[in-house]
Structure 1
Amino acid sequence: MSASPSATSAPDARAQFLNVLSAALHGNTLIKLVLARHVGADETLQRIIAKPLQVKGQPHLSLVYRHQTRDITRNVALEQAEALVAELLPASFRNAHLFDADGEVQLAFSKKGKPMLQRHGAQAPREVAATAAHDREKKRYLDLSRPFLRDLGVTDGQGALIPAMSRKWKQINKFIEVFDHALANAPVAAGQALRVADFGSGKGYLTFAMHDYLRNSLGREAKVMGVELRQDMVELCNAAAGRLEHPGLEFLCGDVRSVVPEAIEVMIALHACDVATDYAIHTGIRCNAAIIMCSPCCHKQIRPQLHSPGLLQPMLQYGLHLGQQAEMLTDSLRALYLEACGYETKVFEFISLEHTNKNKMILAVKRRQAADNTALLEKIAQLKGFYGVQEHCLETLLRADSLI
């Protein structure tokens, strides 16, 4: 049984609520704060939803201003957040709901401005806390309420995930998770503006997610460029970027050979076909990118060159195995060339085969100090010789620019 809510009606009810908010913020027990019953000048604003988060290692409050047709997110420091909430109650909002580890506290103002403070029983707050704990266990780097997800068809008008887009939603979050870990280890300054190029951006799911995460979740300045061959996709994404107020996000028509940035910190190329992946990696290395993220596709160049070493001939006589060997060799050489160019490189399963069959990722993060690559280049030469490989596109590109 849940305990009955207790109510307090007194002139200092507002002050009591603000004291509870301050204690929850600084005691790290706040789960969520909702400001409702908007009475301010902006008729499109419906409510503000606030949740705690860390920005550059410091506690902040993320405020989502929920409008009729869009959401706007602000990340503010705790002291600024307290002052802002005090300013908004009751001038702009007549209801406030605070959920913390002990339950729910509700502040309501009558039409005459009289405050009423209610403390709700233990059962409902525990359910809220359990839900929050479950959400933390399955950490999501993006919130489903983000406007770009609705505009691109990932969520519906109420901000709920469209079932047919559940796999795409998992891919988006996994991508941002991988990027977040890479950024933590990359040689970029904490306040440095980031330039990002996403080659083969398609409908822009990951491009929008990257821009939104950098600017709204991390509070960093960022210029994100999506590059796509299909003009209709470019126009669709640019229209969405303008409509959703994503400053610093643009989409260009072209590919990795025709659109060559002068300098970038992050290079992304997911599912670039065959040697397009090599051109993308070369662009990242040439631009001295701190992070390179590739998900290769359609490995065609190496297979015709491949001969089966004597011991492996019984195994590689089967076309399927030969194709798998060519794919593994192609991507291993790519990873090794990245290592030779000064990157810490990983090759791993990006997301389960349950969600996509194009699930391999090559992730490279620039080392803070260069190292001698002579021994590594010799091992690469031996590996090529073992399989009879005469040419690898990435090596050709790197040697042409004297990068190895």
Structure 2
Amino acid sequence: MPAVPASPLPTDDPRAAFLDQLRLALNEGRWVKLVLARHVGAEAELERTTVKPLTVKGQPRLGFVLRYRTRDITRHHAVEEGLAEIAAALPEQFRNAHLQTTDETVQLEFGKKGKARLHRSKAQQPQPAASAEHDRAKQRWLELDRPFLAALGVTDRHGALVPAMSRKWKQINKFIEVFAHAFTQAGLATEAPVRVADFGSGKGYLTFAIHDYLRHGLGREASVTGVELRQDMVDLCNQAAAELDHPGLTFEHGDVRTVVPARIDVMIALHACDVATDYAIHTGIRSQAAIIMCSPCCHKELRPQMHSPEPLGPMLQFGLHMGQQAEMLTDGLRALYLEACGYETKVFEFVSLEHTSKNKMILAVKRSAPVDVASRLARIQALKAFYGVNEHCLERLLQADGLLPSN
């Protein structure tokens, strides 16, 4: 359907009429969003401001998102305070304002000489009103218009998802969803920065995402370090972090054995090969991390030690089945070691197999209450004895540091 052309709305005071339309749309629940554009104010980096109605802790608010060239800033105002801020910005800071309602668009324009014009056009089809529930909006985790996504090639310069990156986008969102629930459960103190170490950070998709979620999504101070063996990736990510104005985000050359933080709150190691996952979990436990997130791969250590216990022998005579059993045993023992060290642990499918074959996640959150260490160790010894396993890398590391008793 062709767009309905905008027509001037006759009025002696276009600015006052536009502000009246804002209040009317808000009172009638028709306000979808307001965009203030053509910035002429003192802040050179500010490009536009978007305003939507919200309800925060049962109180009506106006949510402002200030879009700068490399970052967004979110602010919430009481309704009257927000309306006053909008009025003060026209035309001193912005020369164009678009109000989208459920049934029409109202536009205020200021010419070079300051003359105002008001236009109105009917919506091509009814639009849903902006959701008033602030908490519900948070469940979107990340928005596609976040600047780091464009810098890393997930979106194009217009903020649209690059088709080839759709699987990566789903992985990023699922990762933030998992982290968000764990972060709420961990209950980290609000007065201190959140310290995060991401081992094997690669191109930094998840490292940038968790830093952006903590600072932009939750308003928390964060010190996030990505650790990567490939120097070119380290240089690329550090350059992007500097250009995008991500304070507290850095990348270091090394791995989980060479970069050893004294204390961290969140330890991440995705797709760490074979015993590298054990070194990562050990680092998290030793550093007293409240959250440990691992996605293991390449399970090699236990399989040469394993025998086929009865009555599983006929099933485990097939190499594929023995490999799958070795993987289950390796990660099952890792989960039990974490539980013995005071963590509540889950093992689950991180993302669907259609997106990646490395889809298992071990998630551990530090318990506040003491645990029955003896019962966990008894389960570990029973499993090892059943399969004939003598050694597990994580067990050796924890015992060497006195974090678990020696046999």
State if a TM-score over 0.5 links the two structures.
Answer: yes
Per the TM alignment, residue 34 of structure 1 is displaced from its structure 2 partner at its CA by 1.1
Instruction: Give the letter aligned to residue 219 of structure 1.
Output: G
- Using the alignment, how far apart are the partners of 1:189 and 1:155 within structure 2? 34
Residue pair 1:200, 1:272 contacting (<8 A) in 2 also: yes
**1:172-183 equivalence runs, <5 A:** 172-183=172-183
Q: Equivalent residue for 2:217? A: 217
Q: Equivalent residue for 1:34? A: 35
Q: Equivalent residue for 1:344? A: 344
Q: TM-score, normalised by structure 1?
A: 0.88
- Using the alignment, how far apart are the partners of 2:100 and 2:48 within structure 1? 16
Q: Equivalent residue for 1:78? A: 77
SS in 2 for 1:91: coil
Residue pair 1:17, 1:107 contacting (<8 A) in 2 also: no
Q: Equivalent residue for 2:237? A: 237
Structure 1 residues 241, 266: closer, same or farther in 2, change over 3 A? same
Structure 1 residues 370, 54: closer, same or farther in 2, change over 3 A? farther
Q: Equivalent residue for 1:273? A: 273
SS in 1 for 2:20: helix
1:400 aligns with 2:400: yes
Structure 1 residues 340, 23: closer, same or farther in 2, change over 3 A? farther
Structure 1 residues 219, 100: closer, same or farther in 2, change over 3 A? farther
**Cα RMSD for the two superposed structures:** 3.1
Instruction: Give the letter aligned to residue 328 of structure 2.
Output: M
Per the TM alignment, residue 234 of structure 1 is displaced from its structure 2 partner at its CA by 0.7
SS in 1 for 2:160: coil
Structure 1 residues 44, 62: closer, same or farther in 2, change over 3 A? closer
Residue pair 2:340, 2:376 contacting (<8 A) in 1 also: yes
Structure 1 residues 81, 398: closer, same or farther in 2, change over 3 A? farther
Deviations 1:342-372 (A, max 9, x none): 1111111111111111000011111122222
Structure 1 residues 235, 224: closer, same or farther in 2, change over 3 A? same
Q: Equivalent residue for 1:96? A: 97
Deviations 1:10-32 (A, max 9, x none): 432243145357658xx7x7543
Gaps of 5+ in 1: none
Structure 1 residues 101, 292: closer, same or farther in 2, change over 3 A? farther
Q: Equivalent residue for 1:303? A: 303
Residue pair 1:9, 1:115 contacting (<8 A) in 2 also: no
Q: TM-score, normalised by structure 2?
A: 0.87
- Using the alignment, how far apart are the partners of 1:381 and 1:83 within structure 2? 68
- Using the alignment, how far apart are the partners of 2:26 and 2:75 within structure 1? 14
Per the TM alignment, residue 52 of structure 1 is displaced from its structure 2 partner at its CA by 6.2
Percent identity of paired positions between Structure 1 and Structure 2? 64
Per the TM alignment, residue 99 of structure 1 is displaced from its structure 2 partner at its CA by 3.1
Structure 1 residues 328, 38: closer, same or farther in 2, change over 3 A? same
SS in 2 for 1:271: strand
Per the TM alignment, residue 93 of structure 1 is displaced from its structure 2 partner at its CA by 1.2
Per the TM alignment, residue 110 of structure 1 is displaced from its structure 2 partner at its CA by 4.5
- Using the alignment, how far apart are the partners of 1:57 and 1:234 within structure 2? 45
Q: Equivalent residue for 1:9? A: 11
Per the TM alignment, residue 265 of structure 1 is displaced from its structure 2 partner at its CA by 0.8
Structure 1 residues 314, 52: closer, same or farther in 2, change over 3 A? farther
Structure 1 residues 76, 324: closer, same or farther in 2, change over 3 A? same
User: Which range moves more in the overlay, 394-403 or 202-211?
Assistant: 394-403
SS in 2 for 1:325: helix
